[in-house]
């Protein structure tokens, strides 16, 4: 696996791998645009519909393909070059962002258009997620996997801090369109990074029926008690504890009586808490009591989230939503690491 002999702090050691560096810095630029779009899209739907129902519908359109297609996407990721899959999915997301920008700039955008584009993005995300997660270990190896996952989380949540805050200002001054346009342009960085990678020739596994592949993945999850418990905990977490995210625009405007800057502040505070968790894991990952810390984060998640829903004070709400972000990323990152360390290479795409 290609790497360089740079003297890097332990916290950054995964960056010694050239291919991982290309992906990391490409995504660092791109994901900032993604979070700008997510913030602007939520506020656009809130402005057009003035309804939490449509906020939930757009979030569902973007999430349901991930639920229903991810197992198929994992089987595809286990059989095809992951770089090719990522190039296709990132290009699809770029076209969708540019189209949404054009619709917004021309003032013809309607909620149903946003809904359709969210569905397309959800389909792309369903295939991008397993491919990207299974690709990480191929780029850095097992010895740097936890550090790479921590750096990914740090980069992802650093972009979550910057993106919503910038988007809130942009929306108030010049509208939602520029946020969508920047997101579309920013995908160029990750596409160039993927194309610049030097990878060994891809060896396709032996031909196998797609349905049999998916059954094999599900069977492995059901039979292995560790994997089964991790997946059940993640299912509960993602079903019941992440539903607040698409409703933040309505919470900011209707509950706290704020505007786009309030919404951007809540989203950035949530990301700041997540960023602290990611920094902690990247810096101390090998020395952390992973299972106990993950259990602690899972246990207090619901308590902090409940307190946030009861708050009517903006500064207190920002503090509580930051704690929610810390709990969420700590739980998800450590669960991701445990899964990737346990699952064999030939099943990793389907399980992830």
**Mean pLDDT, the chain, as a whole number?**
82
Residue 203 confidence (pLDDT): 65
Q: Is the pLDDT of residue 305 over 80?
A: yes
Tell me, what's the pLDDT at 96? 94
Q: Work out the average pLDDT over 41-70.
A: 85
- Between residues 25 and 165, the one the model is more confident about: 25
| CA atoms within 13 A of residue 344's CA, in its CB half-sphere | 7
pLDDT at 2 over 50: no
77-108 residue pLDDT tens: 777 788 889 999 999 999 999 999 999 999 99
Tell whether the model's pLDDT for residue 112 goes beyond 90: yes
pLDDT at 3 over 50: no
* 132 alpha-carbon distance from chain centroid: 11
What's the token pair of residue 167? 């988007």
pLDDT band at residue 113, thresholds of 50, 70 and 90?
very high
Q: How far apart are the first and last CA of the chain?
A: 22
- Please report the pLDDT score of residue 251 as a whole number: 85
Neighbouring CB atoms inside 10 A of 14's CB total 26
Q: Tell me the range of 1-15, 209-223, 296-310 where mean pLDDT is highest.
A: 296-310
Give tens-digit pLDDT for 242-290: 777 778 888 888 888 888 788 878 888 888 888 888 777 767 656 667 6
Q: How far apart are CA 339 and CA 231, in angstroms?
A: 9
- Does this model's pTM top 0.75? My answer is no
Indicate whether 207 pLDDT > 70: no
Predicted pLDDT at 202: 66
Q: How far apart are CA 5 and CA 58, in angstroms?
A: 46
H-type helices in the chain, by residue range? 18-49, 52-79, 82-105, 111-140, 145-174, 177-196, 210-223, 225-240, 244-250, 260-284, 290-310, 314-342, 348-351
For 317-331, give the DSSP string.
HHHHHHHHHHHHHHH
Cα separation, 77 vs 314, in Å, equals 43
Query: What is the rounded CA–CA span in Å between residue 293 and residue 275?
Result: 16
pLDDT digits (tens, 9 = 90+) for 183-198: 999 999 999 999 998 8
Rounded Cα gap, residues 109 and 247, in angstroms: 21
How far apart (Å, rounded) are the C-alpha atoms in residues 66 and 129? 9
Share of the chain above pLDDT 90, in %: 22
């Amino acid at each position: 696996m290609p790497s360089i002999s740079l003297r890097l702090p332990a916290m950054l050691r995964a960056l010694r791998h050239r291919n991982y560096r290309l992906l990391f810095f490409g995504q660092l630029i791109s994901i900032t645009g993604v979070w700008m779009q997510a913030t602007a899209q939520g506020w656009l739907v809130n402005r057009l519909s003035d309804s939490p129902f449509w906020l939930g519908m757009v979030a569902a359109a973007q999430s349901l393909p991930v639920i229903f297609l991810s197992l198929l996407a994992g089987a595809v990721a286990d059989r095809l070059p992951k770089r090719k899959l990522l190039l296709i999915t990132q290009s699809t997301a770029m076209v969708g962002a540019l189209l949404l920008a054009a619709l917004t700039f021309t003032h013809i955008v309607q909620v149903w258009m946003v809904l359709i584009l969210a569905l397309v993005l959800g389909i792309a995300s369903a295939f991008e997620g397993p491919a990207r997660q299974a690709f990480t270990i191929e780029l850095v190896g097992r010895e740097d996997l936890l550090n790479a996952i921590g750096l990914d989380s740090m980069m992802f949540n650093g972009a979550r801090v910057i993106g919503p805050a910038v988007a809130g200002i942009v929306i108030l001054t010049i509208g939602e369109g520029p946020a969508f346009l920047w997101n579309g342009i920013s995908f160029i960085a990750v596409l160039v990074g993927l194309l610049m990678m030097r990878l060994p020739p891809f060896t396709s596994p032996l031909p196998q029926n797609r349905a049999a592949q998916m059954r094999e993945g599900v069977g492995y999850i059901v039979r292995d008690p560790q994997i089964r418990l991790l997946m059940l905990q993640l299912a509960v977490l993602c079903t019941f504890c992440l539903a607040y995210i698409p409703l933040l625009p309505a919470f900011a405007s209707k509950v706290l009586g704020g505007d786009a800057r309030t919404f951007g502040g809540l989203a950035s505070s949530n990301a700041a808490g997540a960023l602290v968790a990611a920094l902690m894991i990247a810096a101390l990952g090998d020395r952390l009591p992973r299972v106990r810390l993950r259990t602690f984060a899972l246990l207090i998640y619901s308590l902090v989230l409940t307190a946030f829903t009861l708050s009517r004070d903006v500064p207190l709400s920002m503090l509580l939503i930051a704690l929610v972000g810390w709990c969420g990323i700590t739980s998800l990152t450590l669960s991701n690491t445990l899964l990737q360390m346990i699952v064999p290479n030939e099943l990793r795409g389907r399980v992830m």
